[in-house]
Structure 1
Amino acid sequence: MRIDSFLKLVEIRTKIASMVPLMLGTVYAIYRFDTFNIKNFALLFISLLSFDMVTTAVNNYFDYKRAAKKQGYNYEEHNAIVRDKLGEPLVIMVILLLSCIAVLFGILLYINTNIIVLLVGVLSFAVGIAYSFGPLPISRMPLGEVVSGFFMGFVIVFLSVFVHIYDRDIVLFALEGQSILLRLNAVEVLSIFAFSIPAVCGIANIMLANNICDMEDDIENGRYTLPIYIGKQKALWLFEALYYIAFIDIILLVIFRIVPLTLLLVLLVFVPIKKNIGLFRKTQTKKDTFELAVKNFIIMCGSQLLLLAVSTIGFFVNLL
């Protein structure tokens, strides 16, 4: 398999949707807890990137296998298996290899932390597979936006914070006799969730934009996604509303002192994001305007990441 075919199969450009939450959680851990574990960060990075590529490759493989419509951009150009005439055994081998890498480094991360990482990792792995595999995959239901937003937006952020502070008991799971004890530091967990909301909204909107662009093809291919259930106009309204929720959340994060005052500068990017929303409202195609949702995610969460990273410079200066 050529490298460009592999990168297309795993849609490497979309991996920004998992790497940005990883970095957001990392800088949040440094800012709020004044700690950074480079080994755990590296293990999570490799496991997460590998598994993200697995889910994309599996999704493309089953889209190829289940496709009823075999003409058009989505089938002939967007799917690497068709475009590059990749053999099924080769694609399956790549999926299995990436899965083994993800599992191996996930186990190493668990060994280096605690059972919370294992439990969250197993749940995420199961959801990732269920997203594309099985008699009723999540990607063919009106739940794709909720699941992708929650797991990629919040769960990745949570894990990327937790691997640095696993020994501080913000989440504790233990067996006491015949009882299972689960204890949460509600303030810290809710703070992480609030911090992750822009990522949750941005990633959900990437999925939503994708499904809006694919509505006609999805109907022919038996994918009954959220836009098909609620209609295009309501889906476009939801697409816009999610960005407003993200910016309101930024303001609340500052008010409640979860993040520094400088993060209010994120509000400046509302102007280009609003422009992209307008462009997407006019035309919704995978080829021409889908990337606007990706750009909005990068602009919004990238600025959030950059501004918080600036606030952590003192941590690395002290290390020197």
Structure 2
Amino acid sequence: MSIPQFMRFVDIRTKFTSMLPVCIGVLYALYYFNSFNFLNTLIFFIATVLLDFTTTAINVLVDYQTASVNSLERESNIMGRENIPEKLVIYYIFGMLLLYFILGFILVARTDLALLPLGIISAIIAVTYTYGPIALSRMPLGELFSGPPLGLGIIFISIFVNYREELILSLSFQDNTFLLLGDWLMILIIIFVSLPQVLLISNIVLANNICDLEQDVGNHRFTLVYHLGKEKSIRLYNWLTYGSYVTLALPILFGWLPRIMLLIYPTLIFVHRQVKLFNQKQDKSETFITSVKSFLAFTLVEIILFVIAILWTTF
């Protein structure tokens, strides 16, 4: 498989939902703790992208295998369209998972044992999201197991691997006992700082499921949208979008985020237009992109403002 073909296979265009939260976590560690570890960040970034690639690869493989032979779905799948052998895809999946765990163990050795269960849980979610007898994406759990791991999980670990001077979370063993210690206030702060990302990433999955409702039901995939109904799901989509701006206010108010983050709120004008477009029509090829645009408008401005705040405090 050539590099361009591999990039199409893992759909590199969609990886911003894992890459950008890493940036936010690193920038937060720089701003709040004045701490940055380049090697830890690089290892974690590569491991995160590898796990995201693995999730996409499993999803493509499962969709290809479950499609009827000679069906339009199989022909439109990149494996059928570009004649990529199943065996090769399986080798890539296991190879990427193996490399993910190798990098993870290196990172655990460089930080703390508390990172190990976090990494294992992330891998389990990534694999079972589309694979297995009870795939998470086929149940009303897709949003729950996408937003929190990608939003909160990635940001938390990005901060964790960069700030080791004081305790955020630590796990140790002695004989038959284990000791888990953590700074509950710091963990709570990270949760509130991450909430906008959690809501916006969950919203991308929700928008995708709204657009694919009929197709999903035909493929026996009963997502949250199926259980709520389309009208209530669109209402939830609106709440999650605007809720990201509401939840941003608390960390700014308590000084957990710099006051310059208030400049994110003007993006609400653009985001409101995107929400209106999606409310009018829910189509995968035309309006699904509005959820992505809302996420990018919020997140890219947040990253830019973080950089400005860090430069301001530095110089």
Aligned position for 2:302: 304
Aligned length: 315
In the alignment, the residues of structure 2 paired with residue 281 and residue 171 of structure 1 have an alpha-carbon distance, to the nearest angstrom, of 42
Does residue 62 in structure 1 map to residue 82 in structure 2?
no
Q: For 1:199 and 1:81, how far apart are their aligned partners in 2?
A: 32
Q: How does 1:80-91 map to 2 (within 5 A)?
A: 80-91=78-89
Match for 1:48: what amino acid? T
In structure 2, the partner of 1:277 is 275
Report the structure, 1 or 2, having the larger helix content: 1
1:260 aligns with 2:251: no
Percentage of pairs with the same residue: 34
Matched to 1:112, the amino acid is: R
- The AA in structure 2 aligned to 1:46 is I
User: Any unmatched runs of 5+ in structure 1?
Assistant: none
SS in 2 for 1:173: strand
Decide whether the 8 Å contact of 2:68 with 2:74 is kept in 1.
no
Map of 1:202 onto structure 2: 200
- The equivalent of 2:190 in structure 1 is 192
Moved more, 136-145 or 301-310: 301-310
Counterpart CA distance in 2 for 1:41 and 1:314 is 23
For the 8 Å contact 2:274–2:290, the answer to whether it is kept is yes
Once the two structures are superposed, the pairs formed by residues 179-258 of structure 1 within 5 Å of their partners are: 179-258=177-256
Mapping for residues 131-146 of structure 1, pairs under 5 Å: 131-146=129-144
CA drift of 1:239 comes to 0.7
Q: Deviations over 1:207-254 (max 9, x none)?
A: 111111111111111111110110111111111101111101111111
The alignment's TM-score, normalised by the length of structure 1, stands at 0.93
Judge conservation of contact 2:41–2:158 (CA < 8 Å) in 1. yes
**Residue equivalent to 1:114:** 112
Cα RMSD over matched residues? Answer: 1.8
Instruction: State the shift of 1:316 in Å.
Output: 6.3
Structure-1 residue corresponding to 2:13: 13
Shift of 1:110: 1.2
Equivalent in the alignment of 1:174: 172
Distance apart, 1:70 and its partner CA:
7.4
Q: What SS class does the counterpart of residue 175 from structure 1 fall into?
A: strand
Q: Quote the offset at 1:9 in angstroms.
A: 1.7
Deviations 1:56-91 (A, max 9, x none): 11011112212369766x7654x3123323211121
Unaligned runs of 5+ in 2: none
Q: CA deviation at 1:105?
A: 1.4
Supply the distance in 2 between the matched residues of 1:261 and 1:70 (Cα, whole angstroms): 57
Equivalent residue letter for 1:219: V
Q: Is the 8 A contact 1:68 1:221 kept in 2?
A: no
8 Å Cα contact 1:69-1:220 kept in structure 2: no
Measure, in 1, the Cα distance between the counterparts of 2:180 and 2:148: 21
